[in-house]
Amino acid sequence: MKHTASRGWLLTAAAMLVAALVAAPANGATPAIPGVDEIVSSPNLTQVAHLDKTGPFASSTNSDWAFQGHYAYGGNYNGFAVYDIRNPKAPTVATQVLCPGSQNDISISGNLLFLGTDSQRSNDSCDNVASTTAAPGERWEGIKIFDISDPRTPQYLKSVKTDCGSHTQTLVPGKRHDPNLYLYISSYNLTGADQPNCALPHDKISIIKVPKRNPTAATVVAAPVLFPDGGYGGGTGQSPTTGCHDITVYAEKDLAAGACMGDGVLFDISKRTAPRVITTVRDTVNFSFWHSATFNNSGTKVVFTDELGGGGAATCNPTIGPDRGADAVYDIVRGKKLVFGSYFKIPRTNADTENCVAHNGSLIPVPGRDIMVQAWYQGGISVWDFTNSRHPRELAYWERGPISATQFIGGGSWSAYWYNGFIYSNDIAKGVDVLELKDPRTAVAKHFRTDVFNAQTQDNFLRW
């Protein structure tokens, strides 16, 4: 794409850049911790809309996002909500689908929505309760498939049971002439003991094949063992590998990056049903739990996140420091090896009553630069540049003060993603926030549009 800019726009952009630099804390000083529910931000990142959680979702955890057309689909432990975002500054709730189950991670392709359940339920319908020893039911967990031909009236089509459920899921397009979709189902067992539907060792993923023309024929077609040697055995403050937490694919390049608890992994996925481990990395000093992965647009880097404390601890403070509960930037070098570049963590101190750690984010489409927006739970939302793998830097931030100043209460942004010119955040406790980034360094991103966005299914934004 070729873009031109007027002299007036350039003057405005220059003024914004000066304002951002002037507003930065002097001498590296840390901004004061905001008060309860107080919103603070850099001048280039502002909130333009907010929707409170409502109805059956009001008291339940908000989770991950997927987007298609003029709709955003937000996961919640009680189901999923569909938001009409034709006007991003005035979003509305189009519908809510009550379908309880932990995580309720979402992926979308065409008229199909895939909903992942990672808690044992009494059956595979949306009219279910948690399975217990006294009333086990079917002990079902896995993937539910919905028809969203009409986004305002999703129709439940089919379920697919998977071992250990679906903590996260990754939609993988078939290769050329392959009429199927695939789902890589990531799940794990941290109990150290066998569980119903989740026996150890669980060093595998489940792969579901979904025929596009007959989605009700979806089924598990493979369950490859990724760690035949058992993976990392764990250590003090570090998780053992008993599965993967999250896998991100760059299908065009036949690559995937796995955040697999105790291991960071690079996969060859040229054969969709038989991913092959290319290389693994471990950080036995600073990483506790390899949580998620994001490629840069050229597929030459991976950002891994460390979910220290499982997302339920105060880790953005001087006691924990800048290298734990952080991002780690790795370069993919010749031979497709992963070479560590640096850590990145938000440069602000949070209160001891706030859960804060690196969590879900996505690239912002800026050609020639590696820039992403990322959620940090109650640490808020950060926009940062990792073009220089060894010297990443923050460009913008937005955060809401603690839910409580006196007691620890979990909340904050679960996922913050860029979609067609705006940032959408699904706040665990508060609801939906829409943010607008106005910065000359990212202004070109406003021109890029896509019809569908699944964070764990990356493609080349230069082809949008």
CATH number of the domain enclosing 59 = 2.130.10.10
Q: What pLDDT shows up at residue 335?
A: 80
Q: Under a CB-based contact definition with an 8 Å cutoff, are residues 434 and 87 in contact?
A: no
Q: Looking at the chain, how many residues does it have? A: 464
Sequence-distant (6+) residues with CB within 8 A of 97 are 79, 80, 81, 82, 126, 146, 154
Separation between Cα atoms, residue 157 and residue 212, nearest integer Å: 13
CA angle centred on 295, ends 206 and 326, rounded to 5°: 95
Do the domain assignments include residue 333? yes
The Cα 291–Cα 293 span in angstroms is: 7
Task: Determine, yes or no, domain membership for 2.
Answer: no
- Kindly report whether the global pTM for this prediction surpasses the value 0.85: yes
Asked if residue 346 is part of any domain, the answer here is: yes
Which are the contacts of 251, defined by CB distance < 8 A and separation ≥ 6?
A: 172, 173, 269, 457, 459
Q: Record the tokens describing residue 372, joined without a space.
A: 């992403």
122 in the Ramachandran plot: left (φ > 0), alpha (ψ -120 to 50) or beta?
alpha
Q: How many domains does the chain have?
A: 1
Q: Which residue, 145, 95, 142, is CA-closest to 123?
A: 142
Does residue 153 lie in a domain region? yes
Q: Identify whether 1 is part of a domain.
A: no
User: Domain span at residue 80?
Assistant: 7-458
Contacts 24+ apart (CB under 8 A), 343-346: 343/286, 344/384, 344/386, 344/392, 344/394, 345/316, 346/316, 346/376, 346/379, 346/380, 346/382, 346/394, 346/397
Give every residue of the chain whose pLDDT is below 70, as ranges: 1-30
* pLDDT score for 218: 98
Q: Is residue 464 part of a domain?
A: no
Q: Report if residue 294 sits inside a domain.
A: yes
Share of the chain above pLDDT 70, in %: 94
CA distance readout (Å), 358 to 20, 61, 184, 345: 24, 18, 23, 7
Asked, for residue 321, whether it belongs to a domain, the answer is yes
